[in-house]
Amino acid sequence: MEIKNRYKQTSIGFIPNDWEVRKLSSLGVFFKGKGVPKDKLTHEGFKCITYGDLYTKYNYVIKNVQSFIGFETAAISQEIKYGDICFAGSGETLEDIGKCAAFIDGKTGYAGGDIIVYRTEQNPIAFSYLLNSDIVHRQKFRLGQGHSIVHIYSSQLEKIKIPLPPLPEQQKIAEILSTWDTAIETCQKTIENLKNRNKGLAQQLLSGKKRIQGFNQEWKEHKLGDFIEEHNEKPKATCDYIIFTSSNKGLIPQTDYYSGGRMTQRLDVDYNVIPPNHITYRSRSDDGLFTFNLNTSSSQGLISGYYPVFKIKNGQNLFFIKYLNFYKKKLTKYSNGTSQLVLSIKALKGARFSLPENEEQIKIIEVLQMGEDELIMFQSKLKDLQKQKKGLMQQLLTGKVRTI
């Protein structure tokens, strides 16, 4: 009864009775960006929006523009005004196609090639949210054309239908979603600051340039072999251990890493067993940056035979993971090879480093872990905010929840 009385069925689904379904062609005009070659970008001058920036730097709104062009380039480029909406005219996948954001950074700017500009008298922020909603995304997906590069054109965008709220409600929707955007942006900046702080703190503590209060004993030089105990174990044919892939984000089950894509068959390669709390690294590297990872799971796993496996005798696995990854560049001098560098477990054990005593290793990790825990807390908060905003968009942009 509520749906019947307050909502109506349309070609794009149920919408409130006082909303309209409108094509973009009836609400504004499209025109093409031009100019702004990469070699003409400067650090000051006139603000400009490039295709690459639109994809990587802006979501929903364009502000804090960091790309500029000079007077001569601006003279041959397309000027845009406050509130203009910039569409990406091409993308690598259909999911990418037609991403857009509203320009709200000053009175004027300039749009480069492969950007389609839309000018409307509607609320630009609310409109940008609408044009990035699921209802519109499904239409843009169908309109995308091409193969390796997918293209979309203004003649196609003109046909897109949107659920159009009255202007006062557009304003209210923009205010609500902008509040969440501000919270998300603040959280993202905090995360970036924490990452930089944690990185700097790790550099200070792991190099001994900064000492934890109560520890002033000089670090002693050791062979890593004084702490490393090799683990050489091959799997039985009948074992069903998890197969791990080593990445910059740690050891990841191969089934998660490839997400249904290429998988290595068990019989195709040689494997090493990696028990819990054991460390591994790829012994061959093109760039010489050998990354060390710890099996933090409670289960035995398998890793490619190119990955030696070892444990730390004093049990300070977390300290040595941090320490070895911090000094990975220094480890290249212990490797062999030309086009591809090889760091054997024997060479790793022979590497010499200055190390703190066991008690200081423990304290260093405690301090670094507190920083990591704080970072994780804000990363979790960011996910919650993004999830909340997605839910709000689904409710507000379809009229399921009204603001006035």
> At 369, which CATH number?
1.10.287.1120
Is there a single domain that holds both residue 251 and residue 296? yes
Residue 370 within any structural domain of the chain: yes
Q: Are residues 59 and 134 in the same domain?
A: yes
- The continuous run of DSSP H or E covering 21 comes out as strand 20-23
Name beta bridge partners: 32.
116
Mean pLDDT lowest among 210-219, 229-238, 282-291? 282-291
* Cα 204 → chain centroid: 27
- In a domain? residue 176: yes
Tell me the pLDDT band of 404, cut-offs 50, 70 and 90. confident
Average pLDDT over residues 130-148: 79
Residue 314 C-alpha from the chain's centroid? 36
Both 79 and 193 in one domain: the answer is: no
Instruction: Quickly count: other Cβ atoms within 10 Å of residue 8's Cβ.
Output: 14
335 and 373 in a single domain? The answer is: no
Tell me: do 136 and 260 sit in the same domain.
no
What does the radius of gyration of the chain's CA atoms come to, in whole angstroms?
Answer: 28
Same domain as 143, residue 29:
yes
Count of domains forming the chain: 3
Measured between alpha carbons, how far is residue 43 from residues 39, 62, 65, 70, 293 in Å? 12, 17, 11, 9, 40
What is the rounded distance in angstroms from the CA atom of residue 243 to the CA atom of residue 232? 17
Taking the CA atoms of 247, 248, 250 and 253 in sequence, report the sign of the dihedral they define: negative
For residue 38, is it within any domain? yes
pLDDT per position as a tens digit, 305-316: 999 999 999 999
Residues 39 and 119 occupy one common structural domain = yes
Share the mean pLDDT of the chain: 89
Q: Domain for residue 132, yes or no?
A: yes
- 95 and 233, same structural domain? no
| CA–CA separation, 391 and 374 (whole Å) | 26
CB atoms closer than 10 angstroms to residue 293: 24
Q: Is 215 among the domain residues?
A: no
DSSP state string for 156-220: HHTT-EEEE--HHHHHHHHHHHHHHHHHHHHHHHHHHHHHHHHHHHHHHHHHTSS--TT--PPPE
Tell whether 349 and 364 lie within a shared domain.
no
Bridge-based pairing of strands 28-32 and 220-223 is unpaired
Task: Give yes or no: residues 86 and 185 share one domain.
Answer: no
Domain of residue 368, residue span:
165-210+356-404
Does one domain contain both 6 and 95?
yes
The CATH number covering residue 68 comes to: 3.90.220.20
> Do 239 and 290 have their domain in common?
yes
H/E element, 78: strand 78-81
Q: Assign 261 a pLDDT band (cuts: 50, 70, 90).
A: very low
